[in-house]
């Protein structure tokens, strides 16, 4: 048996055999493979190694815009305090008020914490299509100039105390919450409310009755939501603005799917962008469009004829003879 | 003993091959993305820093001054109406500045000194923001 085995090995390896033992060779080969693999792994790892610095640029821009608006803006009663009458008096809510970025669209939403009244100003961008945006909430004050001297404005069925314009107390045919909730007039805050017997104090039989007190609030709490958009409409609008000042501007649009097309046209004092997303593969193909418009901030009669281009292209915006804005694709 | 000498030779040959591969990779630009990424980050950091100072200076009291140290490298900083544009070798970056009634005045392009750090002064005056440097 042993002889047969030795003959087989001699036939396979040669009669002279190896100069060193078979297990050693296997160990060396494995060691080599591991070392080489390790060295290649380290090279590949370090070749892709690099420091990443996150500057949170949009958040910074958001903070800087908010800080400037809250320190010096025509809509303020005092630093950090908005005037409700000035907010009511804004003619064009699509204007980005006081300060703005050219490349970044901005919207501001101011919410009165007392009566929940909301003012929306600026560019209403889109948040779909992988748009980059930053939204932050800042505490602000809201100043109300309105002053009420007539107790009738409170709609009491019976007056308890008339200390207007500071406060008023009385019975109202209402409840303290729900469908028949009593709300003080704008600029006044309900500081107390107690349910009374139904049908009492001059209210109809079976009607709810509440004893309420309203006090004037000069400066109440509120919040400001600032949203900064880095989207295609902002970039196009800024490109047109720069072209107006310089004559020509190259606009680079973000790379994306080839199935997007962009239609640009002028609407009154705004530039509008229609994004058309065709989702291929579905039967039938799904076509999704989204339109956003941004206010233009220069007084030019230049018209923008409708033009289209594919997503991911570079384009050059030109003002021709001061009357027409043209867009040329850079190949 | 003879087997050990084979292993040594295997190490030498493999080491040589790997070294050659690394040299070839470096010569073919395999490591270039690292350098470019670093340059891009330098440009981005400088642009964001300059634009942030300008944006913060808009609402600052008159006579407020801020110093910024430019690194010892090659760079060009251009302050335009809407952006700060920073150019370094192999990269550039734009960072937006606020459009306001406060003009920014700068005497041309700000250049870094490749041999030494430089200080640029941002000063808020009654008429706007002056960049001196």
In a domain, A20, yes or no: no
Work out the pLDDT band at A255, boundaries 50, 70, 90. Answer: very low
Q: Are residues A64 and A115 in the same domain?
A: yes
Provide CB contacts within 8 A for A253, sequence distance 6+: A232, A235, A262, A309, A311, A312, A313, A314, A315
Separation of alpha carbons B62 and B126, rounded Å: 6
The partner residue sitting opposite A32, judged by closest CB among B14, B37, B98, is B14
* A158 alpha carbon, distance to own chain's centre: 48
Can you give the pLDDT at residue A326?
73
Within-domain flag for A89? yes
- The residues pairing with A271 across neighbouring beta strands, listed in sequence order, are A266, A294
A39 touches chain B (CB under 8 A): yes
Residue A302: its pLDDT value, please?
A: 66
Rounded to two decimals, the pTM is: 0.70
Q: Write down the pLDDT at residue A278.
A: 58
* Most B-contacting residue of A46, A97, A99, A133 (CB-CB within 10 A), to test interface: A99
Structural domain includes residue A305:
yes
Interface check for A242 against chain B (CB to CB < 8 A): the answer is yes
Contact A102 B22 (CB under 8 A): no
Q: A130, A72 in Cβ contact below 8 A? A: no
Q: Read off the DSSP letter of residue A197.
A: -
Find, in chain A, the residue whose alpha carbon is nearest to that of B14: A36
Partner residue opposite A64 with nearest CB, options B21, B44, B52: B52
Would you say residue A10 lies in a domain?
Answer: no
**DSSP per residue, A141-178:** EEE-------GGGGT-SEEEEEETTTEEEEEESSBSSS
* Per-residue pLDDT at A313 exceeds 70: no
Omega prior to A4 cis, within 30 of 0? no
Give the whole-angstrom CA distance, residue B54 versus residue B70: 15
Contacts of B25 in chain A (CB under 8 A): 43, 47
CA distance linking residue B71 with residue B100, whole number of Å: 29
Nearest to A242 among B2, B34, B82 (CB): B82
Residue B66 clears pLDDT 90, i.e. is over it: yes
A76-128: per-residue pLDDT in tens? 999 999 998 899 988 888 889 899 999 999 999 999 987 788 999 999 887 66
Return d(Cα A110, Cα A84) in angstroms, integer. Answer: 10
pLDDT at A26: 77
CA dist A292 and A230 (Å) reads 13
| A282: Cα separation from own chain's centroid | 30
Domain total of chain A: 3
Give the integer Cα–Cα distance in Å for A295 and A179.
40
Residues A179 and A195 in one domain: yes
Over residues A164-223, the pLDDT tens digits come to 888 999 999 999 998 889 988 877 889 999 999 988 888 998 899 999 999 988 888 999
C-alpha–C-alpha distance, residues B58 and B97, integer Å: 10
Note whether A155 and A207 are same-domain residues. yes
* Pair (A241, A315) in one structural domain: yes
**How confident is the model at residue A126, as a pLDDT?**
72
Which of B57, B95, B98 to mutate against chain A (most A CBs within 10 Å)? B98
Q: Are residues A87 and A127 in the same domain?
A: yes
Range of the domain at A66: 57-144+221-227
DSSP helix/strand/coil, A30: helix
The nearest alpha carbon in chain B to A104 belongs to B96
pLDDT, one tens digit per residue, over B11-34 is 777 778 877 877 777 776 666 666
Question: Do A262 and A175 belong together in one domain?
Answer: no
* Residue B114 CB neighbours (<10 A): 11
Under the banding of pLDDT at 50, 70 and 90, the label for residue B1 is: very low
Report in angstroms the alpha-carbon separations of A319 from A233, A240, A270, A316.
18, 8, 16, 10
Of the candidates A209, A227, A245, which is a domain's last residue?
A: A227
B72 in the Ramachandran plot: left (φ > 0), alpha (ψ -120 to 50) or beta? beta
- Asked if residue A9 belongs to a domain, the reply is no
Residues A79 and A119 in one domain: yes
- Which chain B residue has the Cα nearest residue A56? B48
Does residue A15 lie within any of the structural domains? no
Terminal-to-terminal C-alpha distance of chain A: 80
A131 versus A125: the higher-pLDDT residue is A125
> Is A259's pLDDT higher than 60?
no
Q: What is the mean pLDDT of residues B80-109?
A: 90
* A73 three-state secondary structure: coil
Q: Are residues A129 and A161 in the same domain?
A: no
In this structure, the answer to whether residues A104 and A189 fall within a common structural domain is no
Residue of chain B nearest A79, judged by CA positions: B59
Residues A113, A93, single domain; the answer is yes
Question: How high is the ipTM of this complex?
Answer: 0.76
Q: Are residues A212 and A279 in the same domain?
A: no
Are A246 and A268 within one domain?
yes
Beta bridge partners of residue B77, listed in sequence order:
B86, B110
Asked if residue A239 belongs to a domain, the reply is yes
- Looking at A170, A194, A227, the residue that finishes a domain is A227
* Domain closes at, from A196, A227, A258: A227
Q: Does B94 touch chain A (CB under 8 A)?
A: yes
In a domain, A185, yes or no: yes
């Amino acid at each position: 048996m042993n002889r047969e085995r030795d003959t087989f090995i001699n036939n396979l390896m040669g009669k002279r055999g190896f100069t060193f033992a078979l297990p050693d060779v296997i160990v060396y080969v494995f060691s080599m493979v591991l070392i080489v693999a390790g060295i290649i792994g380290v090279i590949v790892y370090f070749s892709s190694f690099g420091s990443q610095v996150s500057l949170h640029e949009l958040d910074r821009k958001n903070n800087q815009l908010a800080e400037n608006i809250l320190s010096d803006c025509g809509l303020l009663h005092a630093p950090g305090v908005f005037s409700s009458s000035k907010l009511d008096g804004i003619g064009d809510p699509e204007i980005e008020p006081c300060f703005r970025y050219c490349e970044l669209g901005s919207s501001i939403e101011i919410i009165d914490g007392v009566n929940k009244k909301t003012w929306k100003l600026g560019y209403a961008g889109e948040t779909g299509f992988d748009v980059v945006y930053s939204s932050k909430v800042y505490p602000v004050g809201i100043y109300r100039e309105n002053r009420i001297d007539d107790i009738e404005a409170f709609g009491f069925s019976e007056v308890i105390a008339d200390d207007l314009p500071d406060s008023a107390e009385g019975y109202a045919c209402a409840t303290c919450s729900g469908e028949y909730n009593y709300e003080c007039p704008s600029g006044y805050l309900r500081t107390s409310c107690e349910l009374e017997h139904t049908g009492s104090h001059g209210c109809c039989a079976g009607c709810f009755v509440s004893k309420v007190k309203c006090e004037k609030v000069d400066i109440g709490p509120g919040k400001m939501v600032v949203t900064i958009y880095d989207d295609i409409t902002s970039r196009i609008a800024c490109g047109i603005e720069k072209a107006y000042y310089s004559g020509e501007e190259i606009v680079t649009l973000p790379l994306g799917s080839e199935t997007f097309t962009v239609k640009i046209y002028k609407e009154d004092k705004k530039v509008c962008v229609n994004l058309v997303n065709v989702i291929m593969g579905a039967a039938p193909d799904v076509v999704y469009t989204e339109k956003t418009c941004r206010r233009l901030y220069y007084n030019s009669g230049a018209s923008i004829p409708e033009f289209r281009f594919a997503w991911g292209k570079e384009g050059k915006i030109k003002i021709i003879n001061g009357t027409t804005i043209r867009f040329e694709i850079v190949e | 003993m003879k087997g050990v000498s084979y292993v040594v030779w295997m190490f030498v040959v493999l080491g040589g091959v790997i070294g050659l591969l690394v040299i070839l990779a470096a010569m073919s630009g395999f490591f270039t993305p690292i350098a470019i990424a670093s340059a891009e980050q330098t440009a981005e950091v400088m642009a964001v820093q300059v634009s942030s100072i300008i944006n913060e200076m808009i609402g600052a009291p008159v006579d407020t001054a801020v110093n910024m140290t430019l690194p010892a490298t090659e760079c060009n900083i251009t302050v335009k109406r809407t952006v700060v544009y920073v150019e370094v070798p192999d990269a550039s970056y734009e960072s937006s500045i606020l459009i306001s009634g406060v003009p920014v005045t700068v005497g041309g392009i700000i250049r870094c000194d490749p041999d030494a750090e430089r200080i640029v002064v941002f000063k808020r005056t009654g008429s706007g923001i002056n960049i001196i440097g």
